[in-house]
Amino acid sequence: MDARELSDLVAHGQVDTLVHRLAPLNEKERKLLVPGVKQMLDYRNRSQYPEWPLAVAVLGTIGGERQVARALENMWNLHVLGDHGVRVLRDRSPHWLPKLPGALLASEARHWNLVRQLVREGVVEMPDEPEYLIWMVWGVVAPNAFQAHQGCAARDGLLADPGLLDRELWLMLATERVGRQLTTTDGSLREFYDTFQKSKIPMPTRTWWHALVTLAAEGRLERGRLLDAALAAPLRDWAPSDVTWFVGLHDALVPTADEVLDRQATYSRLLTCDHGPAVKVAQKCLTPVLADDRLDVDALLSASHATLARSDKASVLAQLSLLKKLVKVRGVTEAAVPAVQVALDHPRPDVRERARALLDDWGVAPPDSAATLEFVAPEPQPLPAPDAVVPVADPDELAELLLRLLEEADDPIAIERCFDGVLRFGGQTSAATTAVLLRRAEESQLWGLDPRRDLAVVAKAWIVRPTWRDRFRKSAGAAVSATFGAGPHEGSLAWFHQARVAELVRLAAARAAVPLALPTHADGSIEAGTLAERLGGLPKGAAAGSLDLAVALLRVPPQDLSEDLVPRSARDGWVTGAIRLLRDWSPEWERVRGESKSRWGYGTPEPLVTFRDRKPSREKAGAVGQVADRSNALAGAGWDRDMGVWETRYEQLVAWWATYFPHHPDLFAAHLHPTMVGDLTHDRGLGVPVLDSLTRRRPGPVESSALVLGLCAKDVRVRTAGQDALLDLAGHGLLDGPELGRQAVAHLADGTVVGQRLSGSLAAAVVDDAAVRPVLETLEVLLPATGGRRDTAAFVELAAELVHRSGRRIAVPPHLVALAESRSSSVAAKAARRLL
- SS3 of the chain: helix, strand, coil, percent, to 5: 60, 5, 35
Identified binder of other proteins from the candidate list 91, 161, 259, 724, rule CB under 8 A: 724
In the window 484-523, what residues touch other proteins (CB under 8 A)? none
- Cα 694 → chain centroid: 26
Q: For residue 171, how many C-alpha atoms fall within 13 Å in the half-sphere facing its CB? A: 16
Least distance (Å) between residue 787 CB and other proteins: 28
Q: 832: alpha, beta or left, given left = phi > 0 and alpha = psi -120 to 50?
A: alpha
720 contacts other proteins (rule: CB under 8 A): yes
Q: Interacting stretch for other proteins, rule CB under 8 A, among 341-349, 511-519, 781-789, 803-811? A: 341-349
Coil vs helix vs strand at 446: coil
Identified binder of other proteins from the candidate list 520, 723, 752, 786, rule CB under 8 A: 723
Handedness of CA 561, 564, 567, 568 (dihedral sign): positive
Residue nearer to other proteins on the CB measure, 38 or 682: 682
266 contacts other proteins (rule: CB under 8 A): yes
399 contacts other proteins (rule: CB under 8 A): yes
Least distance (Å) between residue 551 CB and other proteins: 25
- CA–CA distance, 690 with 718 (Å, rounded to integer): 10
φ, ψ at 60 (rounded to 5°)? -90, -10
As separate numbers, helices (DSSP H) first and strands (DSSP E) second, the chain gives 47, 4
768 contacts other proteins (rule: CB under 8 A): yes
Identified binder of other proteins from the candidate list 66, 473, 593, 717, rule CB under 8 A: 717
φ, ψ at 592 (rounded to 5°)? -125, 150
Identified binder of other proteins from the candidate list 302, 321, 428, 824, rule CB under 8 A: 302
Residue nearer to other proteins on the CB measure, 20 or 440: 440
Identified binder of other proteins from the candidate list 133, 306, 449, 455, rule CB under 8 A: 306
- CA–CA distance, 685 with 675 (Å, rounded to integer): 10
262 contacts other proteins (rule: CB under 8 A): no
Least distance (Å) between residue 299 CB and other proteins: 6
Q: Are 771 and 737 in contact (CB under 8 A)?
A: no
- Cα 690 → chain centroid: 21
400 contacts other proteins (rule: CB under 8 A): yes
- Cα 493 → chain centroid: 28
Least distance (Å) between residue 764 CB and other proteins: 7
- CA–CA distance, 208 with 245 (Å, rounded to integer): 10
For residue 485, the one-letter residue type is G
Handedness of CA 216, 221, 227, 230 (dihedral sign): negative
Residue nearer to other proteins on the CB measure, 251 or 724: 724
Coil vs helix vs strand at 194: strand
Residue nearer to other proteins on the CB measure, 161 or 724: 724
Give the x-and-dash track for 427-446 against other proteins (CB under 8 A).
-----xx-xxx-xx------
Q: Are 559 and 583 in contact (CB under 8 A)?
A: yes
Residue nearer to other proteins on the CB measure, 306 or 653: 306
Q: Are 475 and 440 in contact (CB under 8 A)?
A: no
- Cα 632 → chain centroid: 34
Q: Number of residues in contact with other proteins, rule: CB under 8 A? A: 56
Q: Are 684 and 644 in contact (CB under 8 A)?
A: yes
Identified binder of other proteins from the candidate list 503, 613, 647, 715, rule CB under 8 A: 715
For residue 593, the one-letter residue type is R
Residue nearer to other proteins on the CB measure, 159 or 764: 764
688 contacts other proteins (rule: CB under 8 A): yes
767 contacts other proteins (rule: CB under 8 A): yes
406 contacts other proteins (rule: CB under 8 A): yes
Residue nearer to other proteins on the CB measure, 664 or 719: 719
For residue 109, the one-letter residue type is A
785 contacts other proteins (rule: CB under 8 A): no
Identified binder of other proteins from the candidate list 222, 228, 259, 410, rule CB under 8 A: 410
Identified binder of other proteins from the candidate list 34, 252, 299, 414, rule CB under 8 A: 299
In the window 119-178, what residues touch other proteins (CB under 8 A)? 176
Coil vs helix vs strand at 57: helix
- CA–CA distance, 585 with 581 (Å, rounded to integer): 6
The CA–CA distances, whole Å, from 140 to 131, 152, 177 equal 14, 11, 17
311 contacts other proteins (rule: CB under 8 A): yes
685 contacts other proteins (rule: CB under 8 A): yes
Least distance (Å) between residue 274 CB and other proteins: 7
Nearest CA to 622 out of 516, 499, 498 is that of 499
Give the x-and-dash track for 654-683 against other proteins (CB under 8 A).
-----------------------------x
Coil vs helix vs strand at 202: strand
Applying CB under 8 A, which residues contact other proteins? 176, 232, 235-237, 265-266, 268-269, 272-274, 298-299, 302-303, 305-306, 309, 311, 342, 345, 347, 370, 399-400, 403-408, 410, 432-433, 435-437, 439-440, 683, 685, 688, 692, 715-717, 720-721, 723-724, 727, 764, 767-769
